[in-house]
Amino acid sequence: MAVRNGLRQELPKDRIWIVFGLILFCYLGLVFRLLWLQSHEGPTLRVAAAASRTHRTVLPPQRGSICARDGKALAVSLYSGRLSFDPGILRPTSNDKRANERMERKFAAAVHALAPMLNLSAEELTAAVTAARQNYQFHPHANGARDVTIALDVPFETQTNIKSSPVPLLGFTLVDGNKRWYTAGASCAQVVGFVSTDGHPIGGLEKACSKWLIGQSGVSYAEQDGHRRVIAGTTTSTKPVRNGLDVVTTLDATVQHIVTDEAQKIVAKFHPIGVSVVVVDPMTGDIISLVSLPNFDPGTKKINEISIDSQWERCATRLYEPGSTLKALTLAAALDDGTITENNRFYCSGQFQIGRKTIHCAHSEVHGSQNADGILKHSCNIGAALVGMRMGAEKMQAAETKFGLLDQLDIGLPGQKRGYYSLDRKENIDSQAKTARVAFGQSIVTTPLHVAMAYAAIANGGTLHAPRLLAALTDSTTTPPGKVVQEWNPLPGKTILKAQTCAQVSQMLRDVVTEGTGKVAAVPGYVVAGKTGTAQKYKPNKYVGSFIGYLPASPQATPRAVILVAVDEPEGKHYFGADVAAPTFQAIAARLMEYWRVPQDDPDLIQSKTAADHIRFGEHIPAHSSRRK
């Protein structure tokens, strides 16, 4: 029995040691596993743990502004918040009735505090969030169910009130954002372009300069709780936001408004399919205004509401036949290289046969023997054709190249064009007929901006400047703001004409306004030099009427502006440049001289009175009214 009792006493001890050994083995295994995880897999697990409790937020940059020459914004990004509601936060998480009641009271207080900030009644806001909560209860895992938009375009003042609210806004989150605002409205629509609601730049400088305007996004991290709510005070930024740069242009917003206002009067009166107006500084090549009609207001229109025709920038991206405005360039080139002199005369019989082609003057007028001044004054097609034929095809092409009409524009807009000779299948580019037509502005296409820059060379004494639209990139985030990051200074121009030639042609262009086809363009108090143009399109009975001129244009004055007005397919019997474009030139020029306070160079109104007398009494005007060309 003793032995048996001894065995009985030893058996429990053995079992205890066995159990202890098992426990020790498990404990050592656990320790070894922890050591393994800590040493070998620790970095990976720490990253995973941090990721599970960390919320990553991309911080969008503020898009840079597009500014006028004086720094005033044409396009600017303004604060626009989005208030969202998360119904999942208010879902009961326990059977604690008192806790749920406290949560509902806090929510009701949040609604009553937030409603007046949004200019809503408590009932309206309650109805909106109640619908969101009911939808969440039925679809707890639906995409977007935990982020219901309550208000869009929340202004900055409201954002400040929301973020400083003493009442916790349980369930509501304000997401910062911005929207694009176009201060110049429709007057700069095609040049500035616009940004769609999803932030995509469309057309104009918004698209062309997007690489500078867009900036760089930042990134912030914050810890979140089990309900994926951001824990206040845990936000850190690892990559700061870099806002976009501001683009400063050479445009004058006031001039854009003036030009748009006068161009719209053309549309109301003649109903054309399009109007183009260019204003440039002839001394520097700066583009002061580019206006295209039809246009649109980018601040009030959605992209699907804007017609393609309205989005076209017509001054630098649309080609046209310049018509008789090119005659001044032909004569300038011929005078400059000695092909003709002021005394050479050319006979106009009303029509001129070149092979199978017949050239006519408007209304088959017979201008008789004319020198260069008479050719411009009466806008004689045959006289200009004869000058071109005397120059020959090679010199004619060299002249168009010299004036930059065939160059590729580079002003920073998408879709910029270059001019070219329009070719007939049965006609060689070097043919006499082609040369003759190019001489008076047909069979060649270019942009209104090309022609304006060519006239600027005559106005300033012979220097062809490159057109400049972009002036600088500035950084508004610096102290002080506005540090220049990059600058585009006016490039030195190249001399293409002798000063004497420019003086001769300028006098001829003054005569056009004083007693020729451009009398209606005379501006009281100022001397104007200019030329009418009418080009027949390939469509039957469709025309482009235009006028280009500069002022002040007296020999002792420095010209301030070259202005070109082109009217595409005006309706009715009035389509000549003198009828549809010259009056608008006169109105724009008069308003610009007043706006810029330019001293008068014709205070006795000699030119304007003479021009008015010629119109009134028909002095030296052919029977069919040569002013309508």
pLDDT digits (tens, 9 = 90+) for 617-628: 544 333 333 333
pLDDT at 298 over 60: yes
The pLDDT tens digits for 525-540 are 999 999 999 998 888 8
Q: What was the pLDDT predicted at 347?
A: 93
Q: Which residues are bridge partners to 216 per DSSP?
A: 242
Q: What residues contact residue 415 under an 8 Å CB cut-off, 6+ apart?
A: 313, 317
Taking 90 as the threshold, does the pLDDT of residue 20 lie above it?
no
- List pLDDT tens digits, range 144-163: 456 778 877 788 788 788 87
Residue 620: the pLDDT is 39
Tens of pLDDT, residues 202-215: 889 999 999 999 98
CA distances from 629 to 151, 240, 329, 544, 547 (A): 58, 62, 17, 11, 10
What is residue 167's predicted lDDT score, i.e. its pLDDT? 81
Query: Is the separation of the CB atoms in 452 and 585 below 8 Å?
Result: no
* Mean pLDDT for the stretch of residues 491-499: 93
pLDDT digits (tens, 9 = 90+) for 359-387: 888 777 898 999 999 999 999 999 999 99
Do 354 and 433 form a contact (C-beta atoms < 8 A)? Answer: yes
CB 316 within 8 A of CB 416: yes
At residue 82, φ and ψ (nearest 5 deg) are: -125, 120
* Length of the chain counted residue by residue: 629
Q: At 353, is the pLDDT very low, low, confident or very high (cuts 50, 70, 90)?
A: confident
519/497 Cα distance (integer angstroms) = 27
- pLDDT band with cut points at 50, 70 and 90 for residue 93: low
DSSP conformational letter for 336: H
Q: What is the pLDDT of residues 111-129, one digit of tens each?
A: 888 888 888 888 888 888 8
pLDDT at 619: 44
Radius of gyration over alpha carbons of the chain, in Å? 38
* Residues pairing with 57 in the sheet: 220
The secondary structure element, H or E, covering residue 149 is: strand 148-154
What sections of 403-439 are H helices per DSSP? 432-439
Q: What's the rounded Cα separation, in Å, for the pair 358 and 363?
A: 14
pLDDT > 90: what percent of the chain? 52
Please, what CATH class does the domain formed by 253-617 belong to? alpha beta
Q: What is the structure's pLDDT at 344?
A: 95
Give dist(CA 442, CA 543) in Å, integer: 12
Distance CA 467, CA 545 (A): 24
Q: Which residue is listed with tokens 């102290």?
A: 479
CA angle, 416 then 417 then 420, to 5°:
170
pLDDT band of 547, cuts 50, 70, 90: very high
CA separation for the pair 59, 65 (Å, rounded): 19
**pLDDT at position 182 over 80:** yes
pLDDT surpasses 60 at 141: no
Q: How far is 249 from 66, CA to CA, in rounded Å?
A: 7
pTM of the model: 0.82
The residues with which 58 forms a beta bridge, in sequence order, are: 219
Out of 36-50, 163-177, 393-407, 603-617, pick the least confident: 36-50
- Residues 335 and 505 sit within 8 Å (Cβ to Cβ): yes
pLDDT of 147 reads 73
What is the C-alpha separation between 438 and 445, in angstroms, rounded?
Answer: 9
Contact 486, 533 (CB under 8 A): no
Q: For the chain, what percentages of helix, strand and coil (3-state, to nearest 5) are there?
A: 40, 20, 35
Chain-wide mean pLDDT for the chain?
86
Q: According to the model, what pLDDT value does residue 540 have?
A: 84
User: Does residue 69 have a pLDDT over 50?
Assistant: yes
pLDDT attached to residue 507:
97
Tokens of 198: 């999803």
Is residue 400 pLDDT above 90, yes or no? yes
What pairing do the DSSP bridges indicate for beta strands 66-67 and 246-249? parallel
